[in-house]
A and B are shown apart, each in its own frame.
Chain A
Amino acid sequence: MTRVIAITGKGGTGKTAIAALLIRYLTKGDRVVLAIDADPDTNLPETLGCEVEKGIGDMREFMLTQRDNLPPDVNKESIFESKIYEVLSEMPRYDLLVMGRPEGSGCYCYANNLLRGIMDRLVKNYDVVIIDTAAGLEHFSRKIIRDIDDLIVITDGSRRGLRTAERIRELIRELEANVRNLYVIANKVTDANKDKITEIAEELDLELIGAVKVDKMIEERDLLGLPLFDLPDDSVAVEEVGNIAKKLEL
């Protein structure tokens, strides 16, 4: 069975960084991962250290603009599926898909409907799927993938950050979304605010599954523009994400 994990949270809290480190952990073990960057800004490839030219959005646009030029009786789902495969970056032990280009003004009902079917089938080929969403795009990722096992909210140390997690919990209820579990990871934590975060999380009845400290090595790599995927094993962030993965039974 494929485990589908989506990562969300406020802007700049570290969604992409944690996603990359989870992928790093999983591929070092012997899991085959599908990484999906659902943020139209597309940061995950860089953080993982791979290059991507085109995304699902471009292929969806291709289907929209080319549909009248295709032979009338071709199977569009099968063409679309192949186009999605074309933009899949195949890396050792993981494949990466970026969403990229958002919807334009036309009608996307049919294209998105095909896409959901294609993704349903594709997802089954992997042990774990990690979706990095943009802030506030919980709906968006659900448009392409119907069922999510774990939704992880990344928060910084602020009460506001944790409130975001609370709000997302409400949202899931309202949407009657197929999200099985909701977890919170505190990121860029300092010794000063660590206990306070735990306290607030308890108060809000949120399941805090880890606290990642501010990591000097990440800051250094940020400055040099190096991918986080190659962080050494003794980075504090790598270690804590490892603990989190074990708690998630990944």
Chain B
Amino acid sequence: MADEFPFEISPMFEGERVRKDGMYVELAGPKSKGFELVKAVGMDEIEDGKFTLIGPDLSEMEEGSRHPIAMIYRVAGELVEPDLEAIVERRNHDFQNYIQGVMHLNQRYDIWIRVSKDAVKKGLNSFEQVAKATMMLFKNELPFIEKIETTYITDLAEAEKELEAAMESYKIRDERTRNLHDEDVDVFYGCTLCQSFAPTNVCVVTPDRISLCGAINWFDGRAAAKVDPEGPQFAIEKGEVIDAVGGEYSGVNDLAKSLSNGEYDRIKIHSFFEFPHTSCGCFEVVGFYIPEVDGIGWVDRDFTATAPNGLPFSTMAGQTGGGKQIVGFLGIGINYFRSPKFIEADGGWERVVWMPKNLKDKVLVDIPEDIVDKIATEEDVTDLESLKAFLIGKDHPILERWVEEEEEEEEEAEEAIEDIAAAAPGMMQMPAQAMMAGAVAPMAMAGGSGGGVKVILKNAKVSIDRIIIKKSE
């Protein structure tokens, strides 16, 4: 098959690296420029197998020199569509590494290629050979490609000009991928890397929920699971949708049950209060329920002071980690703030009342405009009193919940536990194993009641490990 080429072609050469000692030329890379691009085009727009080179060929390059390179592949076929461009383009890396004596690193505008002296000695003297081999591999391995035409550019000015157009293509593509949501896919990905220290933790990664460590998004899960389906990242069939808003799926539940050894059997991916995602301790940010305002605060690892509830990140992280479902705390990755499904089951951003300034700034553009100024930071408030005043002053949508609570409270007055003295910040602990039956807010505070706190339990089955109540001063 590969007799026409002066080099061998095999996946065996994939990990082969060309050291500086053995390098004939270096193309693109951190000290030069270049990119690779695959474009889907119409069947009659290209000539199959055609190769064009703009700029000097390999034979005209001096040993040890460095040059820019742009590699543009235009592909066509009945099944070829723009959505496939990224996947096809990714294979350029694989295929060029199959060629003995060619090293291809990275992707897109960061590609870095070296050709070895040995390969040149054996007769590799033109980019046409590399392009033809790559085109052959594209067509063999991706049979939906019916036609392919290639242009390589080694002329700096030309390459730079084309790079501008390429950047536009990447941008369009990125917008498309950012628009991928949970409902658009059939599989999610799981990760069990952290089970070594949190044995019941299962991370579920979906297009709308990055892993809580912030390191693994849905595409990373897909890439890893494809290379090693038995590895720490693996596919989870979604199965039946049980709760579209909360993000509950039968496939995820089944898997949660088996991977946690039956510790829990339901996960709602976008819920804070009901069957929340477990946390292994690696999370970038921890969310904490503030019963006094019926809202949620978020604090990240870098914030060392205490949150308005009087607790620092480290204390809350200690409560949250360990791979258990802890109602009242939730570990997330920063990128989850950018998700349109961000704690959708609990009211999304309308439920958020406090974040450290730095964290808020990081995700500022992703916070809905009408709420962004209503979320307090450590610059606005220091404790629960000032937080409450801030929320009232800004007319935070959370106030609506207070009104509802007050109304219901009158109806259910007999169920209320009256006048529990104001819990000093942090001294009133959440029930460790509270089982909420349906109700979203397990505890609510009667707005504006000054020193006293009323705890209302509605339709709640509660088993409490420990409540510490302190006298108010």
Using known A-B contacts A75-B90, A110-B216, determine if residue A82 contacts B106 with beta carbons closer than 8 Å. Answer: yes
Q: CB distance B15 to A72 under 8 Å? A: no
Q: Residue A85 at the B interface, CB < 8 A?
A: yes
What size tier do the contact residues of chain B reach? 35 or more
- Interface check A71, CB cutoff 8 A: yes
Query: Which residues of B from 1 to 28 have beta carbons under 8 Å from A?
Result: 15-17, 19-21
A75-B223, A85-B105 given as contacts; is B17 within 8 A of A125 (CB)? yes
| B17 neighbours in A (Cβ, 8 Å) | 85, 122, 125
Inter-chain contact B106/A105, CB cutoff 8 Å: no
| Assembled-state Cα–Cα distance A86/B31 (Å) | 10
CB proximity of B322 to chain A, nearest CB, Å: 14
- Shortest distance between the CB of A43 and any CB in chain B (Å): 23
B110 adjacent to A82 (CB under 8 Å): yes
State whether A78 touches B93 (Cβ < 8 A). Answer: yes
Residue B334 CB within 8 A of the other chain:
yes
Contacts of B170 in A (CB 8 A): 71
A199 to chain B, nearest CB (A): 42
Q: Is A121 an interface residue (CB 8 A)?
A: yes
Determine whether the beta carbon of B334 is less than 8 Å from that of A68: yes
Instruction: Name the distance in Å between A147's Cβ and chain B's nearest Cβ.
Output: 16
A98 shortest CB reach to chain B, Å = 17
B52 close to A (CB within 8 Å): no
| A93 CB contacts on chain B under 8 angstroms | 21
The minimal Cβ–Cβ distance linking A89 to chain B, given in whole angstroms, is: 10
- Near A by CB (< 8 A), chain B positions 189-237 give 191, 193-194, 211, 213-217, 219-220, 223-224, 232
Please indicate the chain B residues that have their CB under 8 angstroms from the CB of A111 in the complex: 215
Question: CB-CB < 8 A to B16: which residues of A?
Answer: 125
Q: Decide if A32 is an interface residue (CB 8 Å cutoff).
A: yes
B interface footprint on A85-121 (CB within 8 Å = 1, 0 otherwise): 1100010110100000000011101110100000001
The reply on A10 being an interface residue by CB < 8 A is no
A34 to chain B, nearest CB (A): 10
Nearest A-chain residue to B314, judged by Cβ: A105
**Whose C-beta in chain B lies nearest to the C-beta of A73?**
B219
What residues of B have a CB within 8 angstroms of the CB of A68 in the complex? 214, 334-335
* Residues of the A chain whose Cβ atoms lie less than 8 Å from the Cβ of B193: 109-110, 113
Asked whether A107 lies within 8 Å of B19 as measured between CB atoms, the reply is: no
Q: 0/1 per residue, A57-78, Cβ < 8 Å to B?
A: 0000000100110011111111
Q: Which of B90, B232, B334 contacts A113 (CB 8 A)?
A: B232
Contact across chains for A73 and B112 when beta carbons are under 8 A apart: no
Please measure, in the bound complex, the distance between the C-alpha atom of A93 and the C-alpha atom of B21, giving whole angstroms.
Answer: 7
- A159 located at the interface, meaning its Cβ lies under 8 Å from any Cβ of chain B in the complex: no
Q: Mark B331-354, 1 if CB is under 8 A from A, else 0.
A: 000110000000000000000000
Query: Judging by beta carbons under 8 Å apart, are B213 and A109 in contact?
Result: yes
B105 is contacted by which of A71, A72, A78, A90 (Cβ under 8 Å)?
A: A78
Q: Are A67 and B214 closer than 8 Å at their CB atoms?
A: yes
Asked if residues A79 and B106 are in contact (CB atoms below 8 Å), the reply is yes
In the bound assembly, the distance between CA atoms of A77 and B93 in angstroms comes to 12
Are the CB atoms of A107 and B219 closer together than 8 Å? no
Q: Which residues of B sit under 8 angstroms from A72, Cβ to Cβ?
A: 174, 177-178, 217, 219
B301 at the interface (CB under 8 A from A): yes
How many angstroms from the CA of A105 to the CA of B284 in the assembled complex? 10
Q: What are 13 pairs between A and B in contact, CB < 8 Å?
A: A68-B335, A72-B219, A74-B219, A75-B93, A78-B107, A90-B21, A105-B301, A106-B282, A109-B194, A109-B215, A121-B15, A125-B15, A125-B17
Assuming A75-B90, A78-B105, A122-B15, what are 16 further A-B pairs, CB within 8 angstroms? Answer: A71-B170, A72-B217, A78-B107, A81-B105, A82-B112, A90-B21, A92-B21, A95-B19, A106-B284, A109-B193, A109-B282, A110-B191, A110-B211, A110-B215, A125-B15, A125-B16
Shortest Cβ-Cβ A-B pairs, 5 listed: A107-B282, A110-B215, A90-B20, A82-B106, A107-B213
